[in-house]
Amino acid sequence: MNLEITSTKDNVVHVAVFGKVTQDATSRDVDPLAALLGAEVYALNVLLNLRDTEMVDSSGIGWLLVCHKKFKENGGRLICHSAPPVVANVFRLMRMDLVFECAANAAEAEKLAGVTSQE
C-alpha cells in the first residue's frame, strides 16, 4: 500500500492510495498515515482517494477501522471516496459502508467534509 498527499487546504488533506490496502507487507507498528502526515493527522479531515486501489483485505479493513477510531477520538474525520467496485463490494459485504464515511467521488467527499468551493 502506497499513500501520497495530493493536496492540502486548511484542515482538509487529500490522500491517494495506490495498490493493495493491506498490512501484510508492512510492520503493524508503523502507522502509514502518521508517517505521511505526522502525529496530528487524526485531528484533520482526511479524504482518502481509493480510485487506484487494487484490493482490500482483512488486515487493510483492520487498519482502516483503527484509523477511523483514532479520527473519532481526536476530532478529525476519515472520508473514503472513489472506491473501485472490488473495494466497494468488500466494504458492503463486511458492512463497513455503515461504519466508514464513504462518498462516490472527491467532490462528494469534500461536501461531507464541509469544504466550500470558491468561485
DSSP element (H, E) containing 17: strand 12-21
36-83 pLDDT tens trace:
999 899 999 999 999 999 999 999 999 999 999 999 999 999 999 999
The DSSP 8-state label assigned to residue 30 in this structure reads S
What pTM was estimated for this model as a whole? 0.90
Residue 56: count of CB within 10 angstroms of its CB: 26
Q: Please, what are the domains in the chain?
A: 8-113 (3.30.750.24)
Phi then psi for residue 95, to 5 deg, are 65, 20
All three cell numbers of 75? 476530532
Nearest to residue 12, comparing CAs of 91, 101, 110? Answer: 110
